[in-house]
Amino acid sequence: MTVASSSPPTRLPLDGGAKEAERRPRRPLGDGALAALFVAPAMIGFAVFLLWPTLRGIWLSFTRFNLLTPPEWIGLANYERMINDPIFWGSLKVTVEYVFINIGVQTVAALAIAVLLQRLTQSSLLRAVVLTPYLMSNVVAGIVWLWMLDTQLGIGNEIIAAVGIDRIPFLADETWAIPTIAMINVWRHVGYTALLLFAGLQAIPNDMYEAARVDGASEWRMFTRITMPLLRPVLAVVLIMTVIGSFQVFDTVAVTTAGGPANATNVLQYYIYGSAFGRFQFGYASAMSVALLVVLSVITVVQYRITRAGQTDLG
Count how many Cα atoms sit within 13 Å of the Cα of residue 119 in the half-sphere of its side chain.
16
**Can you tell me whether residue 114 is helix, strand or coil?**
helix
Q: What is the mean pLDDT of each successive set of 10 residues along the chain, which is 315 residues long? A: 50 52 58 87 94 94 92 95 96 96 95 87 83 91 94 92 92 94 95 92 86 87 87 90 93 93 93 94 96 94 83 65
Average pLDDT, the chain: 88
Number of CB atoms found within 10 A of residue 273's CB: 16
Could you give phi then psi for residue 311, rounded to 5 degrees? -120, 155
**Can you tell me whether residue 180 is helix, strand or coil?**
helix
Q: Which candidate, 9, 2, 53, 33, places its Cα nearest to that of 285?
A: 53
Q: What is the pLDDT of residues 57-80, one digit of tens each?
A: 999 999 999 988 899 999 999 999
Is 98 buried (19+), middle (13-18) or exposed (0-12) by CB count in 10 A?
buried
**Can you tell me whether residue 85 is helix, strand or coil?**
coil
> Computed over its alpha carbons, how large is the radius of gyration of the chain?
30
Is 62 buried (19+), middle (13-18) or exposed (0-12) by CB count in 10 A?
buried
Is 256 buried (19+), middle (13-18) or exposed (0-12) by CB count in 10 A?
buried
Per-residue pLDDT at 219:
84
Q: What is the pLDDT of residues 290-301, one digit of tens each?
A: 999 999 999 999
Q: How far apart are CA 83 and CA 77, in angstroms?
A: 10
Is 182 buried (19+), middle (13-18) or exposed (0-12) by CB count in 10 A?
buried
**Can you tell me whether residue 280 is helix, strand or coil?**
coil
| Helix residue ranges per DSSP H, 120-262 | 124-131, 138-148, 155-162, 177-202, 206-214, 219-222, 228-247, 251-256
Count how many Cα atoms sit within 13 Å of the Cα of residue 309 in the half-sphere of its side chain.
15
Per-residue pLDDT at 1:
42
**CA torsion sign, 87 to 88 to 89 to 93?**
positive
Residue type, 315: G
Q: Say if residues 256 and 218 touch (Cβ distance below 8 Å).
A: no
Question: What residue ranges define each of the domains in the chain, with the CATH number in brackets?
Answer: 72-307 (1.10.3720.10)
The pTM score is: 0.84
Number of CB atoms found within 10 A of residue 154's CB: 19
Q: How far apart are CA 231 and CA 119, in angstroms?
A: 14
Per-residue pLDDT at 23:
58
